[in-house]
Amino acid sequence: MDLAVINGNYAIEAGLSVDDALAKEEKDSDAATTYANIVVIRRDDENRADLIALARAITSDAVRRFIDETYAGAVLPVF
């Protein structure tokens, strides 16, 4: 038996889906919450309108729906 541990984005590019996995991370797992991508803004820039808009946009319900619909569980929105 061949076995691999790969990131969801690589699995998707290879034509695999979450349903092909033997195991997967849940959105509240230690790994998902520890290694999630985050946006960090310098304290001096915290009131910049463009950065506030960016933070709101990438954590919006529309982006959550896009991730859920596009990646079907292979990428997890943790915001």
Mean pLDDT of the chain: 86
Average pLDDT over residues 39-47: 93
CA–CA distance, 61 with 24 (Å, rounded to integer): 23
Average pLDDT over residues 36-60: 93
Q: Is residue 19 part of a domain?
A: yes
Q: How are the residues of the chain apportioned to helix, strand and coil, as percentages rounded to the nearest 5?
A: 50, 0, 50
Q: Is residue 23 part of a domain?
A: yes
Label residue 66 by pLDDT band (50, 70, 90): very high
Q: Is residue 78 part of a domain?
A: no
What pLDDT sits at residue 64? 95
Label residue 60 by pLDDT band (50, 70, 90): very high
Label residue 50 by pLDDT band (50, 70, 90): very high
The whole-model pTM stands at 0.68
Q: What is the number of residues in the chain?
A: 79
Q: How many CB atoms neighbour CB 33 within 10 A?
A: 13
What is the total count of domains within the chain? 1
Cα-flanking dihedrals φ and ψ of residue 21, to 5°? Answer: -80, 145
Provide the residue range defining the domain that includes 63. 8-71
